[in-house]
Structure formats: C-alpha cells, structure tokens
C-alpha cells in the first residue's frame, strides 16, 4: 500500500531528477559509513604517510581499480554512442519506398550507402509517389559507381539541398555533368573526376572514362556516410550506364523532376519526405503493396537496436562481472596491504590508540585508494571511448561521440559504495591481529 504511492511519485519526477536521485542513493552507503567511521577522529595525516610510504604499491593498486572501472565505463559509453550515432545518421530519411524485399538491406543501402544489388522500382510507382499531393520531396537514388573509394550517388538537386541544408561551399548541381561532394570527400570544388564502375576492389576504373564531372559544391557535415559520398544528377548515372536520362528528346538539360515515365529507367529506392507527420504514416501504408515496399528507416533501426539489446546486456554483464572480480581483488589486496602496515598499526594500539581509531585509519586508507582509482577509471573510460569513437567513425563514416552519461556515473557510484562498504572487512581484520606478534614482525 505504501510502495505504490512512492513509485507513482518517483515516476512523476523528470528524468534528470530521477538520475540525480539514483546517483545520490547509490552513494548513501559510502557516505553514511564514512561519517560514522570518522566521527570524532582525524586520521588523514597518518593515512597520507601510509600512502607515501608505499607509494609504488599504492599506485599499482589505484591503476588496477582504474582499469577495471575504465573498462566498464568505456563499454557502456561506446555502446550508447554507437546507437545515438546511427540514429542521428538516419534522421533526415523520413520514409523510403523501394521494391519489395529486405527493409534492413535497403536501409543499409539508401541511408548508410552500403553496396548492394537491389531491384528497381518502375516508372509507374515513382510517378505515383512523386505526384502524391502529400509528398514534398520524392528523390530517386541510383548507386553503383565510385571515385577514389567514395560512392557516387545519383539523386535530385532538391534532395541535396534538403540533406545538407545550406552548402558549406559552392552550389547545388544544375547540369548533368556537375557534382556536389560530401564534407569528408578529398576532392575540392572546381576539380574534375571520372567515376569508376563499382565500389571497392571490384571497381573498374576505365568503364566510364568518357564521363567527366565538374565539382560545383560541398555539403555541410551531416554526421552520416553521405559525408563521404559524391552526389550527381540521377540523369547522369542513367546515361553513363546506357539508359534513358529520365527526360524526353526535347529535354533542355535541366536536371531534376519532373521525369517522364516513358524515359524513366527505374530506381532502387525513392527517398520521400512529407511535411506532415500523419502523411508519412499514410504514405507508408499506401505504398506497402505487391509492387512496392515503404518503411521508416528509424523504425527499422529501432528494431535492429532492439535485436542488439542482447549485446548491450552482454556488455553490461561484462562490466558487472569485471567490477565483481576487481572488488574481490580489491579486498584481497587490502588485506595484504594492511599486513604491510601491521607493525605500525600494532604500535598505535600498544600506545593506547582506540580500536575505532585504528579501524578509521585502515578504512580511510582503503577509501582513498578506491575513490582515487574510481575517478581515474572514469576519466580513463571516457578518454578510451572517445579515441575508439574516432576509429569507428573513420571506418563507418558515422559520427559517433561517446560522452559521459548517467549510466556511467551510476556504475562508478555503485562500485565505490560496494567496495567501500566491503573495506570494513580488512579494517576489522586489522583489529583482530595479535599486537605482540605484529610488534615483533
């Protein structure tokens, strides 16, 4: 009867308040034990001398704790950064219409520009989507070529403007042999290039030697694989591959829609944007049928993240197991360290120091090592995650940023409280040792 109202009050709190309250709750045991143990005593001068006396051993002990905490923090932060980075990369892609098949495969191809062989949508389907009054942008995409490893993607000038917003340099292409490069493509505005047929090791550098493109603009960073793409008019991709350009014989060379159905070769996917949210759901329902497949990349990505939830749980379990093992190691190490100081502690007791003072000295010494190692591990974990994020971002072209979050703080707080509570064991064990035996060494 009492728990339900408390749960209701907890759920009514904003997320920030919940996270802050949970952090405080996790730290309460350590703080409470510290206040009780140190009440009436000031053992810090003696603790400082103990830390300095065996500084190398103490440093190794701190580094052990730091490595353990850093691994846990790094795993959790990196996994969250990867999820956020992939979600951010798909933000601009409201709805994709493609030929029936695998939604995951088409999402990887259209959003993350992964090479794939995809069937083509017919001209009739594209015309129906493009002429739908609820659609503001219906951009065909065509891929399969590359330049210096960067994928060449054919699309419409309207989509380039939508994807990048204001260009960082130059302008959007307006003619068939013009191109816009992504922010991370190593080609400058004003340069020319000839695309290779295919991507990667299988690319044929000489297949399109007659097709030369002039770079007229550079997109602003999008945090997605499109930053490593070269965007050209879809008409150019069609013509380079010996297909109709999407326009009739009287075409004046202006690229972009409207396209003529009789000269529309087909497209692997259509990137669709509607101004109204409800329209996107209506469009997905309407164009999910025998000759077309409509899906939300964000929804497919959420399903993938759900499937990868087991991976996240494994990472969390690995972090917890690591913390448990290190906690056991910490306790064992503290028992060993207290034996190094056995003669000094026995001398304190022989001189009449209260047992609670000796307990406070040993516990404070352990608490300093644990807290220092945990804080160092927190910094180490975030630093390692940031470095790893740079490597993953360079490999995937997805902007991944691993930052310090509440889960990492909760993990560290739980570890600190648990080990500080258990530090009472070696502190209590120090009082059970024989004074005479320790004095004799």
Q: What is the pLDDT of residue 315?
A: 65
In a domain, 9, yes or no: no
Domain of residue 365, residue span: 17-88+308-440
Boundary of a domain, candidates 295, 317, 333:
295
pLDDT band at 376 (very low <50, low <70, confident <90, very high): very high
In a domain, 204, yes or no: yes
Residues 38 and 155 in one domain: no
Look at 198-202, 279-283, 354-358, 404-408 and tell me which has the smallest mean pLDDT. 198-202
Selected residue with higher pLDDT from 12 and 249: 249
- Distance CA(165)–CA(176), nearest Å, equals 21
- Average pLDDT of the segment spanning 259-286: 89
Selected residue with higher pLDDT from 336 and 292: 292
Q: What is the pLDDT of residue 80?
A: 82
- Average pLDDT of the segment spanning 337-352: 60
Residues 84 and 178 in one domain: no
Q: What is the pLDDT of residue 113?
A: 86
* Residue 240: pLDDT over 60: yes
- Average pLDDT of the segment spanning 51-58: 82
* Most confident region among 79-88, 186-195, 197-206 by mean pLDDT: 186-195
Number of domains into which the chain is organized? 2
What share of the chain in percent tops pLDDT 70?
83
pLDDT band at 223 (very low <50, low <70, confident <90, very high): confident
**Contact at 8 Å (CB) between 227 and 219?**
yes
Q: What is the pLDDT of residue 339?
A: 67
In a domain, 301, yes or no: no
Look at 199-213, 341-355, 358-372 and tell me which has the smallest mean pLDDT. 341-355
Q: What is the pLDDT of residue 347?
A: 60
Residues 132 and 227 in one domain: yes
In a domain, 126, yes or no: yes
In a domain, 11, yes or no: no
- Average pLDDT of the segment spanning 400-409: 82
pLDDT band at 65 (very low <50, low <70, confident <90, very high): confident
Boundary of a domain, candidates 271, 295, 319:
295
Q: What is the pLDDT of residue 271?
A: 92
* Residue 34: pLDDT over 90: no
* Residue 1: pLDDT over 80: no
Look at 6-15, 139-148, 241-250 and tell me which has the smallest mean pLDDT. 6-15
Look at 101-110, 299-308, 316-325 and tell me which has the smallest mean pLDDT. 316-325
* Residue 430: pLDDT over 70: no
Boundary of a domain, candidates 237, 271, 295:
295
What backbone torsions phi and psi does residue 267 show, to the nearest 5 degrees?
-145, 145
* Residue 424: pLDDT over 70: yes
* Residue 329: pLDDT over 70: yes
Residues 282 and 361 in one domain: no
Residues in the chain, total = 441
Q: What is the pLDDT of residue 22?
A: 84
* Residue 218: pLDDT over 90: yes
Residues 99 and 64 in one domain: no
Selected residue with higher pLDDT from 169 and 352: 169
In a domain, 385, yes or no: yes
In a domain, 3, yes or no: no
- Average pLDDT of the segment spanning 17-39: 85
* Residue 235: pLDDT over 60: yes
Residues 317 and 176 in one domain: no
Residues 47 and 157 in one domain: no
Look at 253-262, 365-374, 395-404 and tell me which has the smallest mean pLDDT. 395-404
Q: What is the pLDDT of residue 231?
A: 93
């Amino acid at each position: 009867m009492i728990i339900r109202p408390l749960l209701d009050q907890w759920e009514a709190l904003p997320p920030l308040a919940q996270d802050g309250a949970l952090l405080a709750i996790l730290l309460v045991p350590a703080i409470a034990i510290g206040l009780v143990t140190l009440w009436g005593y000031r053992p810090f001068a003696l603790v400082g001398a103990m830390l300095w006396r065996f500084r190398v051993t103490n440093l190794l002990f701190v580094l052990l704790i730091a490595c353990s905490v850093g691994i846990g923090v790094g795993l959790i932060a990196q996994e969250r950064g990867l999820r956020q980075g992939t979600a951010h990369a798909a933000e601009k892609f409201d709805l994709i219409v493609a030929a029936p098949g695998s939604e995951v495969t088409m999402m990887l191809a259209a959003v993350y520009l992964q090479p794939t062989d995809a069937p083509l949508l017919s001209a009739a389907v594209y015309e129906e989507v493009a002429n739908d009054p609820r659609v503001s942008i219906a951009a065909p995409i065509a891929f399969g070529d590359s330049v210096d490893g960067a994928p060449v993607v054919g699309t419409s000038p309207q989509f380039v403007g939508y994807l990048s917003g204001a260009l960082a340099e130059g302008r959007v292409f307006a003619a068939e042999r013009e191109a816009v490069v992504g922010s991370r493509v190593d080609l400058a505005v004003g340069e020319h290039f000839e695309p290779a047929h295919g991507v990667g090791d299988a690319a044929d550098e000489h297949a399109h030697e007659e097709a030369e493109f002039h770079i007229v603009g550079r997109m602003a960073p999008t945090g997605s694989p499109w930053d490593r793409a070269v965007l050209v008019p879809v008409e150019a991709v069609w013509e380079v591959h010996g297909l109709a350009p999407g326009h009739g014989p009287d075409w004046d060379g202006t690229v972009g829609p409207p396209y003529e159905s009789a000269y529309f070769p087909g497209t692997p996917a259509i990137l669709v944007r509607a101004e109204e949210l409800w329209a996107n759901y209506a469009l997905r329902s309407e164009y999910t049928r025998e000759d077309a497949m409509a899906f939300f990349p964000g929804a497919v990505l959420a399903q993938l993240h759900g499937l990868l939830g087991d991976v996240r749980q494994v990472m969390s379990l690995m972090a917890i197991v690591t913390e448990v093992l290190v906690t056991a190691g910490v306790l064992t190490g503290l028992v060993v360290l207290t034996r190094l100081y056995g003669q000094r502690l026995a001398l304190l007791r022989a001189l009449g120091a209260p047992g609670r003072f000796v307990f406070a000295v040993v516990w404070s010494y352990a608490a300093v090592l644990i807290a220092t190692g945990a804080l160092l591990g927190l910094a180490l974990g975030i630093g390692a995650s940031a470095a790893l994020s740079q490597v993953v971002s360079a490999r995937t072209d997805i902007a991944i940023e691993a930052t310090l979050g509440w889960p990492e703080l909760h993990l560290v707080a739980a570890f600190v409280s648990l080990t500080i509570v258990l530090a009472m064991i070696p502190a209590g064990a120090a009082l059970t040792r024989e004074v005479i035996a320790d004095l004799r060494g």
